[in-house]
Amino acid sequence: MIKQVDVLIIGAGAAGMMCAIEAGKRGRSVLIIDHAATPGDKIRISGGGRCNFTNINAAPQNYISKNPHFCISALRRYTQRDFLALVNKYGIAWHEKTLGQLFCDGSAKQIIDMLVTEMRQAGVELRLRTTIDSIVREDNRYLVDLAGDKVRCTSLVVACGGKSIPKMGATGFGYDIARQFGMKITDTRPALVPLTFDENTLAPLKPLSGISVDAVVSHGKTKFAEAMLFTHRGLSGPSILQISSYWREGDTISVAMLPGVKVFDALRVARVRNGRQALQTALSELLPKRLAQLIAENSGIDRHLADLTDKQLRAVEKAVNEWQVKPAGSEGYRTAEVTLGGVDTDGLDQKTMEAKSAKGLYFIGEVVDVTGWLGGYNFQWAWSSGWVSGQVV
Ligand code: FDA
C-alpha cells in the first residue's frame, strides 16, 4: 500500500518544522521525516543550549548569497517580529544578549517543544529514524521510498540542511536531490567557523591560547567588531566566525586588537611620563599581559620607552591595530555552524521556494544558497523560508 499525503518534508529541523506547521494549519496532510532520533537537534545545541532564535535587526544585508536579493521577499513576509510573537505566545522568556541577538532565558528545548506542539496541533505526522532510498517523479507527483515504505506526495519539501557537523547527521543529501532534478549547486564551504594557522604562524601564538580581546577583524571592506579568541589551533570568537564566511584560502585578514585606541599617542604619553617603563609593561596596561609581551618581543624593540623613536612606536601601533595574518585554513565542517553556498537560487522562486524546473519540489533553510551572519540570522532564514513555502505547498 502506498501512503498518500499532500506534503512530504525531508528534515525535521527549523525550516522543515516551520513549513509543516503552516501547511498543516492550511488543512494539508503533512508527513515530516528525519533520520535523527529527535527533531530539531541543531536547535537543541544552538546558542550554547539557549538558542539564539532570531535577530531583531535581521535584514537582507546580513545574508550572503550569489543573489543577495533572493532572501528579501521571504524575510519581509515572515519577519523576526512574527517569530517573536510565536515565542511570546508560548510564554518563553527571552533576552537580547548583544547586537540584537535574542536568546531563550531557559533552554533551546523550549523552542523545539513549541514547534513540536504547533505541529501536533496542525495535525502533522512526524516520523523519526527514517531514511530515503529513492525519489521518483511521476507526472506532477513524487513517489518517495522511505526504506521500503512508499509515500506519494504532491509537494516534496527538501529541508535537510547543509553539511556542517556531520557527527550530528548532516549530509549533502539535499544537494543530491537538487542535482537529481537538474538544479545547480553553488560552491559550498564551511562558514561561521574558527580559522587555523600553519605551524610557523601558530608556534609563537600558542601561549596566547584562551586570551580574548574585543577586536575589529577585516577582510577587504568587510569588518566585524566583536570578540576574538586565540585558540591552540588559530583564532576563533564571534568576529573570526563572521569573517570566516568571507575569507578564502590564501587571503590575509587584518585585526585591530585595540580598536578606537590611538596606540601611538598612548605610548608617546607613556614615554613622556615614564620613560623607564618597558614597552611590554606599557602595552600591558592596554592589552592582556601575555599578548602585550608577545607584541613587544615580536617588535624586536622591547626596551625602555625613552629609547624608542616615534617610528618604532608607530610600528608597535601597526602590530596592535593592523595585524595582518594569513590563516592556513579553517576547522572545517566538523565545527562550522553553517554551510556557505547551496542550492542555486537562480533555480528557485523567491516567493515560494519552489524549484523552477520541477513543479511541487521545494528547498528551504540552510540547503539553499542563503547564509546568514552569526547572531540568529540563520534561524530567521529557516523560519522565513519555511513559512513562505508552508503557505503554498
Ligand atoms: P537543520 O540542519 O536544522 O535541519 C535539517 C534536518 O534534516 C536535521 O534534523 C537532519 O537530521 C535532517 N537530515 C539531514 N539529512 C537527512 C537525510 N539524508 N535524511 C533524513 N533527514 C536528514 N543559527 C542561529 O540562527 N542561531 C544560533 O544560535 C545558532 N547556533 C548554532 C550552533 C551550532 C553548533 C550549529 C552547528 C549551528 C547553529 N546555528 C545557529 C545554525 C542553525 O542551526 C542552522 O542554520 C539551522 O539549523 C538550519 O535549519 P535547517 O532546518 O535548514 O537545517
Q: pLDDT tens-digit profile of 272-329?
A: 999 999 999 999 999 999 999 999 999 998 899 999 999 999 999 999 999 999 999 9
79 CA distance to ligand 1 centroid (A)?
19
Atom of ligand 1 nearest to the CA of 379: 25
Query: What pLDDT shows up at residue 365?
Result: 98
369 CA distance to ligand 1 centroid (A)?
14
Q: What percent of the chain has pLDDT over 90?
A: 97
Tens place of pLDDT for every residue, the chain, 393 residues?
Answer: 999 999 999 999 999 999 999 999 999 999 999 999 999 999 999 999 999 999 999 999 999 999 999 999 999 999 999 999 999 999 999 999 999 999 999 999 999 999 999 999 999 999 999 999 999 999 889 999 998 899 999 999 999 999 999 999 898 999 999 999 999 999 999 999 999 999 999 999 999 999 999 999 999 999 999 999 999 999 999 999 999 999 999 999 999 999 999 999 999 999 999 999 999 999 999 999 999 999 999 999 889 999 999 999 999 999 999 999 999 999 999 999 999 999 999 999 999 999 999 999 999 999 999 999 999 999 999 999 999 999 999
* Structural domains in the chain, sorted by start: 3-188+339-390 (3.50.50.60), 194-330 (2.40.30.10)
Q: Whose CA is nearest to atom 12 of ligand 1?
A: 11
13 CA distance to ligand 1 centroid (A)?
6
Q: What is the DSSP string of 305-339?
A: GGG--HHHHHHHHHHHHSEEE---EE-GGGT-SEE
Q: Whose CA is nearest to atom 24 of ligand 1?
A: 376
Is residue 180 within 8 Å of 158, Cβ to Cβ? Answer: no
246 CA distance to ligand 1 centroid (A)?
21
379 CA distance to ligand 1 centroid (A)?
9
Query: What pLDDT shows up at residue 302?
Result: 83
Query: What pLDDT shows up at residue 256?
Result: 98
Which of 33, 42, 64, 331 for a ligand 1 pocket mutation test, highest count of atoms within 8 Å of Cβ? 42
234-236/253-256 β-pairing: unpaired
The helix (run of H) or strand (run of E) holding residue 297 is: helix 289-299
Give me the interface pTM, i.e. the ipTM. Answer: 0.99
Ligand 1 site, CB within 6 A: 10-16, 34-36, 41-42, 45-47, 51-52, 131-132, 159-161, 164-165, 169, 171, 173, 337-338, 365-366, 376-379, 382
119 CA distance to ligand 1 centroid (A)?
18
Distance CA 219, CA 196 (A): 16
